[in-house]
A and B are shown apart, each in its own frame.
Chain A
Amino acid sequence: MSLITQVKRIPKFYRGNAACPGCPIPRELDILIEELGEKTVLVVPASCSTVILGDTSGMPATVPVVHSAFAASAAIASGIVRALRMRGDKDAIVTVWAGDGATGDIGFATLSGAAERNEDILYICYDNEAYMNTGIQRSGLTPKGAWTTTTPEGKREVKKPLPFIIAEHKVPYVATASIAYIYDYEAKMRKAKQIRGFRYIHLLSPCPPGWRFDSSLTIEIAKLAVETGVWPLFEIENGEFRLTSVSKTLLDKKNRKAVAEYLKLQGRFNKLTEEQIKEIEESIDEMWEQIKEMIKK
């Protein structure tokens, strides 16, 4: 049998991978495996992660990795988990690890289908807010105002509110996370591991070349996204909405840092006018008003 596209993990001493300096993805994946354990299958659609996870000469992962066509990952995962369960494997965690483009655009129907069927998979969208692997083009999850190579004047439309859209499918678990709040991310992973059915975690994943910031600032920016209220940390468990970690303290606007602090560190926002910045700030306030409503319910 000559299935030479199967590759083994590369030897332990070779710790490298093909991520850019300052890219959070390798660390995010390390944490994922630490929390979910070695009985995890990663399904990875075309993206930066495809490259990071190696070529036919070896892979820097300790669990099975199934590379996927761009639009297909939630469906491939559905098939894998059903076959594993038919084989009597009750506890393997089949996990999709997908970018925002695969999740919110081309794979959206596939994702929505899997959520609607409540497939027993964990879907993690690492959101770097553009198609990064193909060179920073806008996606449906690029925020309004952001520069990309296909929106040189700044994106005109708003970011798709994906965690809320998925929650509307009435799946058992939806959460957001940030690499700057590792304990929160880990706790959510642990929780997702215990739950059966469709679980969705949306992880904000700052990208130095795509967002135009110095590669030493990744964690700083991931942190500011939360502290300014741009990226609220929450979970929706069986329909119940709950803020987590520091986001619990941010309902009161005066606890939130100024949104401009987050924006000004990133070259992708440096053409914004004062007025546009104000508009973005207002939209964040608006989102927090909605969050208040959700908590009241």
Chain B
Amino acid sequence: MQVLKRKVLALVGNHAVAYAVKQAKPKVLAVFPITPQTTMLEKLAEYISSGELKAELVRIESEHSALASIYGAALAGARVFTATSSQGLLYMTEMIYWAGGQRVPIVAAVATRAIAEPWSIWDDHQDFVSKRDAIWIQIMAENVQEAYDMTIQAFRISEDERVILPVMMGFDGFILTHTMERVEVLEDYEVDSFLPPRQFNLIDFSDPVGVGPIAQPDEYMKIKFEAMKAMERAKGVIEEIMREYEKISGRKQYGLVECYKCEDAKYAFVTMGAWSGDAKVAVDRLRDQGIEAGLLKIRVFRPFPKEKVEEYLRSMKGVIVFDRAVSFGSGGILANEVKSSLYGLEVPVYNVVAGLGGKDVRPLHFQKVMEDLVEGKLEEERWLL
């Protein structure tokens, strides 16, 4: 296939997402500052003030209201966007559930960051995964290019009539938000054709409806069941949309998961987010050492791609799940997901909790635990302190 020569920009993650949002042409955005997301919303404010993006910017007084305002705008037919992180996401939580429960197409970016107390502005995934039960599609980017691509895809997924769900796009705070990378961007007209104007609107004066009233128990459960089915349907839709994006961009996109040398691997890492890149380096080095290592990267965290996880990991001799988030009193959150996906199979799953509050993790760390696994020295749960 003939692919055009792509426009290449040098962008930090926050600006790459802002650029994608600009191309997606949302009509209402809400801003409330929190590190490390702030510079993204500043960039969007610039686009609006210069007229490059024709949208309303609600300079709101809190995150709870930020999501509330775009929730209202989305009900009234606007494509919408906001971004937050850490404490901001927690403060938004009530409205996160409202948006998911009402199933409104919204896209929100989360620059992942540790949660206080103690204060930490650095990266981990505790904020992002805490929203796993809120009926949102949750996608995590590995690098700045992926953050850009995913943002554009997120609007399509969210508005697809087989889905109609809010989408949360996660990317590691500072590691991606503030790192400059080479980014291939689409032309505006290409984004326009990929992302037609939104159809969704619940405010119609000629045919008024009530949005979000009380539901009696039978109705309530039925509504939740419908949401569950929409989540399941979303898996196929996401893959389809990514394939379509692949055609336009001329770049390989991965679906729900990305398999790096895992087809023929005997041992595998499972990761999510930016450190997947470090894990890939570790895989290459381990292969040089003669260890048949691979990596399964989780891109879509909700709906959780348990079929894919099972398909790729079912015959591994050992799986190490790296977690940047913990359910205290239970274990690494991603590890628990992987274990339940492999339920009934004889695959040993190990859990490494690392990188909390921005603690540095390098390819060497990945390598070391894999060596320990191969030598039979890895315990079921290890914290890299």
> Measuring CB to CB, which residues of chain A are less than 8 angstroms from any residue of chain B?
1-9, 38-39, 41, 43, 50-51, 53-57, 59, 61-69, 71-80, 82-87, 92, 109-110, 112-113, 116-117
Contacts and interface: CB of A to CB of B under 8 A. Distances in A.
A110 B64 contact: yes
B204 interface: yes
A65 B65 CA distance: 19
Contact of B62 (A9, A67, A92, A113): A113
B62 A110 contact: yes
A54 B161 CA distance: 27
B383 to A, nearest CB: 37
Given A3-B103, A5-B102, A55-B215, A79 B209 contact: no
A50 B76 CA distance: 20
A4 B61 CA distance: 31
B331 interface: no
Interface string B197-232: 000001111001111111110010011001000100
B56 interface: yes
A74 B103 CA distance: 21
A66 B211 contact: yes
A4 B220 CA distance: 10
B82 to A, nearest CB: 10
B159 to A, nearest CB: 11
Contact of B213 (A2, A7, A110): A7
B77 interface: yes
Given A4-B226, A109-B61, A67 B78 contact: no
B78 A113 contact: no
A39 B75 CA distance: 16
A103 B273 CA distance: 41
B199 to A, nearest CB: 9
Contacts of B213: 5, 7, 50, 53-56, 59, 65, 67
Given A75-B72, A92-B203, 10 more contacts: A3-B103, A6-B202, A55-B213, A56-B215, A61-B208, A69-B94, A75-B69, A83-B27, A83-B56, A86-B56
Contact of B223 (A4, A68, A75, A80): A4
B134 interface: no
B104 to A, nearest CB: 9
B210 A59 contact: yes
A109 B62 contact: yes
A4 B77 contact: no
B176 interface: no
Nearest to A59: B210
A3 to B, nearest CB: 6
Nearest to B66: A75
23 contacts: A2-B226, A2-B230, A4-B222, A4-B223, A4-B226, A5-B101, A7-B210, A7-B213, A50-B213, A53-B210, A56-B219, A61-B210, A69-B68, A69-B95, A71-B64, A76-B72, A79-B78, A82-B69, A83-B77, A87-B77, A87-B78, A109-B62, A110-B61
B74 interface: yes
Contacts of B226: 2, 4
A80 B58 CA distance: 11
Interface in B101-137: 101-103
A260 B253 CA distance: 75
Nearest to B65: A75
B99 to A, nearest CB: 10
Contacts of A43: 72
Interface string B1-40: 0000000000000000000000000011010000000000
A64 B58 contact: no
B95 to A, nearest CB: 6
B205 A67 contact: no
Contacts of B216: 55-57
